[in-house]
Amino acid sequence: MAKVELKGLKKYFGHVKAVDGIDLEIKDGEFLALLGPSGSGKTTLMRLFAGLERPSEGSILIDGGNVNDLPPRERGIAMVFQSYALYPHKTVFKNIAFPLTIEGLNKEDIKKKVEWAAGLLHIGHLLERMPSQISGGEKQRVAIARALVRTPKVLLMDEPLSNLDAKVRHMAREELKLFQRDIGVTTIYVTHDQAEAMGLGDRIAVMNDGRIRQIGAPEEIYNEPADAFVAGFVGIPPMNFIEQDNIIIGFRAEAFLPAELIKEKEVMSFRFRIERVENLGAYRLVYGRIGKNKIISNLSARLVLKEGVEHALCVRMEDVGAFGMGKGTKINR
C-alpha cells in the first residue's frame, strides 16, 4: 500500500498536451477512478505512473519518494489492461505465477502466492485450465490475480472490464470493489464509463484536455459539479442546460416535479413540451423542449404524460446550478 502524489505533471507529444499540469494526491488504500472522454489523457497518465512514459515536466512520488527515474519493475506497481494478454499456451496457474517465476522465487513460495491470489478472486478451481477453457470474466480475474501476486504498492487498471458483457461486468465490478477493500491496495482505475466510476471510486477525478476538472467523492461530483463540463459529462442522462441571459442554468433529469405537487415557493417553473416518452420499467425518460432547449426528464411512471402537449413542471431552486458562459465554471448563488 502506498500514497501516490503527482506534482505539476505534464506530458507533451510534440504540440499535443496529453497531460497538461496535474497535481494530485491519492491516499494510501484509496480507490481512485479516473473518468474522462476519449483523448482526455487517462491512458497517458497511467503510462506515466507505470514508468512507460517519462514526464515532460513535474514529478511522481510514491510514499514520498520521487520515482521519475525508476524503471517500471522497480516502482512496485502492477497493471491490468483491457486486453488481458494471458499466455495462451500456459495454464492459469502458470499465467498467474509468471511474474514470480521471472523473479526467480522458489516453487513453494510461488505456489503459496498463486493460491492466495486465486483464492481472493475465486478462481482456485481453474488453475489447471488453459485460457481458452475459461470465460471472459474469468480471464479478467486471472489477469488481476497475476497483477497481485507481486503484492504491488499500487494497482493500475485501464478499462479492465470493457471486454465483458453488461451482466458479467456488473458482477465483476462488485467483486473488484470487495477484494480491493479486503487487501487495501491503492488503486487507480481508468474508465470512460461513469457508472463504473461512480460505483467503484472512493473518489473520482474527472479529466478533460489533459487536466483534472474536478476531484471528489462520487456524490459530490454528481451533486456539486464544479463546471458545466463535469455537469454534462457525469450522469445518465446528462444534466439539462438552459441558457438564460449571461448564465447557463443546469438541473438533473430527476429534479423535475409536476407543478401541482410542489408546495415550496422557491421553485423554477417551466412549460415542458413532451416529444417522446421512453418507458424503462422503473421510470420513464421523457424527452422534450423548454423553449428551444432540448430537455430530458425522469418522471414517475404514475404520471399521465401526453406526447405533443405542454406540461407544467417545476424544479426546486436547491436543485438548480448556475454556470458561467465562458469556461462554464460554477457560479455560487
Binding site for ligand ATP (CB under 6 A): 13, 16, 18, 36, 38-44, 192
Q: In what order do the strands lie in the sheet with 203-208?
A: 77-80, 154-158, 186-191, 31-35, 203-208, 211-216
The least CB distance from residue 119 to ligand ATP, in Å, is 32
**Residue pair 205/35 in contact by the 8 Å Cβ criterion:** yes
Q: Based on CB atoms, which residue is closest to ligand ATP, 39 or 199?
A: 39
Q: Based on CB atoms, which residue is closest to ligand ATP, 6 or 96?
A: 6
The least CB distance from residue 146 to ligand ATP, in Å, is 22
166 alpha-carbon distance from chain centroid: 16
CB burial of residue 311 (10 Å; 0-12, 13-18, 19+): buried
310 alpha-carbon distance from chain centroid: 37
The least CB distance from residue 66 to ligand ATP, in Å, is 22
Q: Based on CB atoms, which residue is closest to ligand ATP, 44 or 140?
A: 44
The least CB distance from residue 206 to ligand ATP, in Å, is 12
3 state DSSP class of 42 = helix
Encode 84-114: b = buried (16+ Cβ within 10 Å), e = exposed: bebeeeebbbbbbbbbbeeeebeeeebeebb
Q: Residues 6 or more apart from 221 whose CB is under 8 A from it?
A: 198, 204, 206, 214, 230, 234
The least CB distance from residue 83 to ligand ATP, in Å, is 13
The least CB distance from residue 261 to ligand ATP, in Å, is 41
